[in-house]
Every structure is written in structure tokens, then in C-alpha cells.
């Protein structure tokens, strides 16, 4: 099965995935570990209990076998000591004895041995304690330890305790009978048996080789009654249990230690299957978790990815896109809310953008006409109205003005209409300075009569107040009243306030501009009034210079500089004595030099006025000649400011055509001829070309006027 890993690119996906894995595998692993430890502990405990029970059973088995062997010897002793003399046991008795003894003999004091069952080697000499034990009529058990083989167990008993001289029964116990009695063996399967004497010698071991456990454990067995232990032999681990069997009183044995051992692999054999099954269970759980987590992650992240893509599109100002989620849960509700938000944001963003553009247009405009055009052309982009009207009242009064109306989509459907408010209308607007909603035709004031033919049903009237007085109205007309909402009303009010400020500023700029030009004309007339011969000179030269500039295609800023420079180009003559200005004869060199200073005087007068920096070159250099022969700086060619070059031509024309104290004015054609002849020396050829075009245009206008007069 191929798993698509692309979903893990998301941090949320990885987090959910890890959460699923952790929530599933961690409990399984912890449970498995705890279960494994618990089961292992229980198996070890059961093994110890089983070994303990087996050790007890084996101890009892050994003790019983020794008792049975003792009973057999007693039976032989009773048969031999009944007074009839030494008799060989019957065949039946011999067969029964052979099951228990490998050999049985009667040993006389003289050392003579009478075998009863096979041959019995002479046992070790008796100690004083052993002899005393035998005289008490008890059975003595001794062992001869052999390497890698079970120890030889001997049993001795006096034939007659009252008469030790009758002899001593000596028997060699059958290993098979004592240690391994077939089906009667109490040992559990897979269990190893070791029997140690009180000195740690191995009487019996089912484990090949020497004592398999450390000497320290042997010493512990000798010192204690019972216990458990673990040890390693080679690659295998073992658990063991030991139990001491005390037979001092019966057989003069200090103790035998019965040790049972079991391999841990056998003890934990039930866990082997668990170890094989557990990884499969974990793997199965992992696959189930993977499938469920992938399914759930996809179910959750596909809507999230779509919502994320939607937010990116919104960040890129694409408010028209929509997120489609059909999950039938909260994600679908979130997507629907997201789409509603996107639609609302798109509308608000478009409104803000349009409003911002309108703001910049109206606030950057310096004339009322541009503000009006902007409002009429852009308001319907912002508000879903069917017509827009902007009424501006005269600055001197608040009851009369003009209403600019736009109804259709083209400028041809715009028109102007006079508007007048009565006292009641003004009071009502002042009582509703924020807005006035008019339900048509129930309410239709006279001042809105130009809108009567538009068949609108609702009019939103927004008064504009500046300095506490009514300066205008913005009126939005709706054919369907439900198209107007509260948000549009608030935005329209904000825009109306900005329009009011913009119109107020524009009117102020216009008034300042008019004041500025009036001041310039007053200065020009004051300069020209200093001499009767130059009256009107500045205005005439300025008019001609503007015509030349227009013919040359200069922009409005350049033309404005020409206009101002022309009116003030001779302002320096204020510093020239009247007797020089009005002298009828030729000026002396000193007088002429003083007259030439009027351009520098004019430049110094205007230099402190930063706004007139653009016209100083006109004032300073309008007497410079194209070939460098002029004054005051002998500039030539394009070193001379273009405005100054234009004024050089216009100034010469007016000076030559006008009367002066020292000569009469020259004919127009002759003046034009002089200027044409001085092209390239005194005058810029490009300027002269434009000048000649202006003159030709004036000739055509004069001819048309003459023809019109003749026709009358």
C-alpha cells in the first residue's frame, strides 16, 4: 500500500500525526511492557512456587525411600535373627530386595561377609558416633561421592542390637530406586535435580559437569534452610530453589540439600509466543493508526488548506474567490463564514480604495471644477445610487448656487441647474447636519426640483458646513430604497465632510490666487505709471510673451512663470531716476549704464521671495542677446533662460512699436521685419518662429474682423 506523504508537509498534519501515533502506540507499548514484566514476574513466581513444592515433594520422596529401605533391612534382619540361624532370603524376597538394593550382605565381626544380594564392597570404617548410632538400633546412611556419577549410598544396621556380635547388615542402595523411580518421580518436567550433602558434595546431579552454580551459592545453601537463587551457565540463565532435608536422628545425616533448577527459557516459554505476537500487534496497530490518522488529517487539513489558500488570495487582494468545503461539519460552517467575510472585505476594500482615490483627487485639486467632476464621476463607483448631485452655494450667501447633476453613465447626461433655498429649508438642513433622508414623493423640497424628473424614490441629502455656514449639498438618489445601508450612509457622510474641506480649500486657493494676480497687476501698473511713455507696457509685453509661449507648446507652470515674470520684468526701474526714464534725447554713457542696472535691481528686489525664484531669470536676463552682445552678463544661446529669450522678443516688439520720448513708434510691419532680420543675433530663432506665427494669427484675426465690419 502506497501512502501519500505530501500531507506531512503541514506542521498541523505532523502534529496530529504524531499525536495519533503517540496516543495509540504509547499506551500499547506501555501496556505491553507492563504486561510483559507482570507476566514475567508471575511466571518467575510460579516457577519458584513450583520448584519449592517440587523440592518439598522430592525431599519427602527421598525420606520415604530411605524409610522404605530401612524397613527392608529391618525385614531382612528379622528373618535372619529369628533364631533359626543364617538363611538366604527366599527368591520372592530377593526379587523385592533387588528393586531397592544393588547389593546386600551380612558382615560378621570376624570380617567374614555373607552376600545376600550380589556383592557389597566393604564400607568405610565406622566412627565412634556411627557405632553408637548403630547400637541404638538405628540405621546408618553414608555416601561415597563419585565424579560425574551419582554417589553410592550405603545403609548399615545391626542384625541384632542386643547382640552386636551377630553381625552387621550392609546394603548398597539402588540409584534407580532412590533417585529416579519412573512415574513416581515427583520432579516437574524440564527440571534439573541436584542433591548435596552437608559438606556441599554432589550426591546426585542431572546436570552434566561439575557443580553448575557458584561456590557462594553452595555456601549459602549450607548456611540456610531454604531459599531461591539465579545464575548463568554459559549462554543460559537458570532459576533455582533449595530445601534442606534433616535426617540426623533417623540416619545420622546432618542434612541433605535438595536443589531443583529450571531454565529461564523454559520458565518464560509462554512469553516466547507473546514476543512474536506483540510486534505483529504493534505493527497492526501502527497500520490502523496510520490509516485512521491519514483519513482524519485529510478530512481536517483539506478544508484548512483551502481556507489557507483563500486567505492568501485575500492577502493578494483577490476578494472574488470563494472557498468550497462540503465536509458537513464546522469546517463547512467556517468556510461559509470565510466566504461571507471575503465578500464583505472585498466590498469594504473596494469602497476604501475608491474613497481613497476620491480623497486624493479632491484634496489634491486646487480648483472647484476638478472637485466637482471627481465627485460626479466617482461617487457612483462607491455607492449603489442611481444619481448624484452636488450643489455649491455662493460664498457671499448660503441660499443660492448651482447644482451639478449626474444621472446616466456618460458626461453628456450631466447638467447644471440653479438652486435656491428658503429659510425653512436652511433651518431643516441645520437641524439635520449629518444627513436628511427624503422619501419621494412624500417629501420633495423646492431646492431639489431639478431632480424631480429622475423618478427616484429616496434621496439622501448630506449638508456641508464650513465655518458654521452652509456651503453645499451632496445628494444621492435611489430608485430602490433598500439599496441604501447604514455603512454607505456613514461613508457618504465622511466623504461629504472631506468634500466640504476640499471645496473650502479650493475657494481659499482661488481667492489667494486672485489676490496674487491682482497684486502683480497692481505692481506692474505702478511700475509703468512711473513714466507716461511706458503705461501698459508690462501688460502688453506679458500678453505677447504668453502667446509666444503657447505657440511653443510650454506647459502651464512655464506659462505661469512667464505671466508673473512679464508683469514684473521692469520692476527694477523703480530704482531709476525719472529724468533718465523720460529723457527726450539720447542717454549719455553714464545714464545708459545706470539704465542697464534696472535688471539687477529687479532681480535683487525679487530674490527674497522664494515663490518667485522661477521668474528672477526673466527679470535679470530679458535684455540678453542670443549672440552674447546683451547685458548684464553677456550670456549667449541656451545659456539664457528660455523665458528671458521669449521676453527679449516681446519686449523689443512693444518698445519699437510704442512711442518713446526720443522717437515715435514704428509701423507694425517694420518692427516685425527688424525682428526677423535680427534672428540668430539678438533673438533665438525658435522664439522668432513662434513670434511670427503669433503675428500671422493676429493678421488673420484682424482681417476677419475687417471683413465682418464690412459686411455690416
Q: Which residues have a Cβ under 8 Å from the Cβ of 439 and sit 6 or more positions away?
A: 457, 458, 481
Which H or E run includes 260? strand 253-263
The residue among 517, 549, 553 whose CA lies nearest residue 641 is: 549
Residues 408 and 461 in one domain: yes
* Contacts of 688-691 spanning 24+ positions with Cβ under 8 A: 688/649, 690/548, 690/549, 690/551, 690/552, 691/548, 691/551, 691/649, 691/650, 691/653
- Residue 380 resides in a domain: yes
Q: 203, 237, 267 — which closes off a domain?
A: 267
Residue 435 lies in a domain: yes
Low-confidence ranges of the chain (pLDDT < 50): 1-3, 533
Nearest to 141 by CA among 78, 205, 67, 196: 67
Residues 455 and 537 in one domain: no
* Residue 616 and residue 546 in one domain: yes
Q: What is the pLDDT of residue 258?
A: 92
Question: In the block, which residue shows the cell 431639478?
Answer: 450
Provide the whole-model pTM.
0.43
Domain final residue pick, 249, 267, 285: 267
Sheet with 458-466: list strands edge to edge. 414-420, 400-406, 387-393, 469-478, 458-466, 436-439
What pLDDT sits at residue 4?
A: 53
Q: Is residue 465 part of a domain?
A: yes
My answer on whether 85 and 155 are in the same domain is yes
CA 621-624-629 angle, 5° bins: 150
pLDDT at 340: 80
485 and 566 both lie in a single domain: no
Residue 510 forms part of a structural domain:
no
State the DSSP code for 679: B
Give pLDDT tens digits for 97-112: 788 888 888 888 777 8
pLDDT of residue 209: 67
Say if residue 459 is in the same domain as residue 559: no
120 and 255 share one domain: yes
The grid coordinates of residue 380 equal 457612483
CA angle (416, 417, 419) in 5-degree steps = 135
CATH number at residue 473: 3.30.450.40
Cell 515433594 identifies what position? 57
Return the pLDDT at 365.
56
Q: Is residue 325 part of a domain?
A: no
Across all residues in the chain, what is the average pLDDT? 79
- Note the pLDDT tens digit of each residue in 142-172: 988 888 788 889 999 888 878 887 888 899 9
382 neighbors 358 (Cβ within 8 angstroms) = yes
Domain that holds residue 705: 529-711
Chosen domain end from 246, 267, 288? 267
85 phi-psi bin (left φ>0, alpha ψ -120 to 50, beta other): left
Distance separating alpha carbons of residues 320 and 97, to the nearest angstrom: 112
Q: What's the confidence (pLDDT) of residue 685?
A: 92
Amino acid at each position: 500500500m502506497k501512502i501519500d506523504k505530501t500531507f506531512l508537509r503541514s506542521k498541523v498534519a505532523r502534529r496530529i500525526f504524531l499525536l495519533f501515533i503517540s496516543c495509540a502506540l504509547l499506551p500499547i507499548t506501555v501496556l505491553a511492557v507492563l504486561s510483559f514484566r507482570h507476566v514475567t514476574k508471575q511466571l518467575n513466581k510460579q516457577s519458584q512456587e513450583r520448584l519449592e513444592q517440587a523440592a518439598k515433594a522430592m525431599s519427602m520422596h527421598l525420606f520415604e525411600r530411605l524409610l522404605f529401605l530401612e524397613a527392608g533391612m529391618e525385614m531382612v534382619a528379622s528373618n535372619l535373627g529369628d533364631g533359626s540361624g543364617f538363611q538366604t532370603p527366599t527368591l520372592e524376597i530377593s526379587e523385592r530386595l533387588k528393586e531397592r538394593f544393588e547389593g546386600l550382605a551380612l558382615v560378621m565381626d570376624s570380617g567374614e561377609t555373607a552376600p545376600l544380594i550380589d556383592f557389597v564392597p566393604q564400607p568405610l570404617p565406622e566412627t565412634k558416633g556411627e557405632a553408637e548410632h548403630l547400637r541404638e538400633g538405628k540405621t546408618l546412611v553414608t555416601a561415597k561421592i563419585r565424579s560425574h556419577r551419582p554417589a553410592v549410598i550405603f545403609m548399615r544396621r545391626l542384625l541384632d542390637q542386643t547382640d552386636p556380635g551377630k553381625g552387621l547388615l550392609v546394603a548398597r542402595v539402588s540409584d534407580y530406586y532412590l533417585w529416579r523411580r519412573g512415574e513416581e518421580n515427583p520432579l516437574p518436567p524440564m527440571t534439573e535435580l541436584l542433591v548435596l550433602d552437608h559438606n556441599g558434595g554432589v550426591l546426585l546431579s542431572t546436570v552434566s559437569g561439575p557443580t553448575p552454580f557458584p561456590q557462594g551459592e553452595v555456601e549459602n545453601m549450607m548456611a540456610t534452610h531454604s531459599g531461591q537463587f539465579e545464575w548463568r551457565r554459559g549462554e543460559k540463565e537458570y532459576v533455582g530453589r533449595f530445601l534442606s532435608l534433616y535426617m540426623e536422628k533417623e540416619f545420622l545425616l546432618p542434612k541433605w540439600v535438595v536443589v531443583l533448577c529450571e531454565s529461564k527459557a523454559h520458565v518464560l516459554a509462554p512469553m516466547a509466543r507473546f514476543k512474536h505476537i506483540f510486534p505483529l500487534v504493534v505493527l497492526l496497530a501502527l497500520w490502523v493508526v496510520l490509516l485512521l490518522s491519514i483519513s482524519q488529517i485529510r478530512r481536517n487539513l483539506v478544508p484548512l488548506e483551502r481556507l489557507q489558500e483563500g486567505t492568501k488570495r485575500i492577502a493578494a487582494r483577490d476578494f472574488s474567490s470563494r472557498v468550497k468545503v462540503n465536509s458537513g461539519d464546522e469546517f463547512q460552517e467556517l468556510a461559509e463564514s470565510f466566504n461571507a467575510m471575503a465578500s464583505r472585505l472585498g466590498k469594504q476594500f473596494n469602497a476604501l480604495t475608491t474613497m481613497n482615490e476620491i480623497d486624493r483627487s479632491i484634496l489634491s485639486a486646487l480648483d472647484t471644477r476638478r472637485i466637482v467632476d471627481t465627485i460626479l464621476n466617482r461617487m457612483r463607483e462607491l455607492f449603489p445610487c442611481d444619481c448624484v448631485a452636488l450643489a455649491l452655494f455662493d460664498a457671499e450667501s448660503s441660499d443660492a448656487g448651482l447644482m451639478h447633476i449626474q444621472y446616466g453613465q456618460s458626461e453628456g447626461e450631466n447638467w447644471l441647474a440653479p438652486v435656491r433655498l428658503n429659510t425653512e429649508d436652511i433651518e431643516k438642513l441645520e437641524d439635520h447636519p449629518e444627513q436628511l433622508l427624503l422619501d419621494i414623493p412624500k417629501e420633495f423640497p423646492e431646492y431639489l426640483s431639478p431632480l424631480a424628473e429622475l423618478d427616484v424614490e429616496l434621496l439622501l441629502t448630506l449638508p456641508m458646513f464650513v465655518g458654521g455656514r452652509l456651503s453645499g449639498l451632496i445628494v444621492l438618489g435611489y430608485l430602490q430604497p433598500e439599496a441604501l445601508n447604514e455603512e454607505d450612509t456613514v461613508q457618504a457622510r465622511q466623504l461629504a465632510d472631506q468634500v466640504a474641506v476640499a471645496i473650502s480649500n479650493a475657494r481659499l486657493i482661488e481667492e489667494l490666487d486672485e489676490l496674487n494676480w491682482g497684486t502683480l497687476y497692481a505692481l506692474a501698473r505702478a511700475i509703468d505709471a512711473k513714466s507716461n511713455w511706458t503705461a501698459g507696457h508690462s501688460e502688453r509685453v506679458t500678453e505677447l510673451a504668453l502667446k509666444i509661449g503657447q505657440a511653443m507648446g510650454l506647459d502651464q507652470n512655464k506659462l505661469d512663470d512667464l505671466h508673473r515674470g512679464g508683469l514684473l520684468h521692469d520692476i527694477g526701474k523703480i530704482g531709476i531716476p525719472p529724468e533718465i526714464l523720460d529723457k527726450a534725447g539720447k542717454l549719455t554713457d553714464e545714464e545708459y549704464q545706470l539704465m542697464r542696472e534696472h535688471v539687477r535691481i529687479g532681480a535683487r528686489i525679487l530674490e527674497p521671495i522664494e515663490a518667485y525664484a522661477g521668474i528672477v531669470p526673466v527679470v535679470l536676463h530679458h535684455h540678453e542677446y542670443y549672440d552674447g552682445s546683451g547685458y548684464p552678463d553677456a550670456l549667449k544661446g541656451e545659456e539664457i533662460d528660455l523665458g528671458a529669450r521669449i521676453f527679449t522678443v516681446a519686449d523689443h516688439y512693444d518698445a519699437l512699436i510704442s512711442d518713446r520720448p526720443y522717437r515715435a513708434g514704428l509701423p507694425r510691419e517694420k518692427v516685425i521685419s527688424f525682428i526677423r532680420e535680427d534672428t540668430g543675433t539678438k533673438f533665438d530663432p525658435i522664439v522668432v518662429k513662434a513670434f511670427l506665427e503669433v503675428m500671422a494669427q493676429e493678421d488673420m484675426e484682424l482681417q476677419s474682423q475687417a471683413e465682418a465690419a464690412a459686411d455690416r
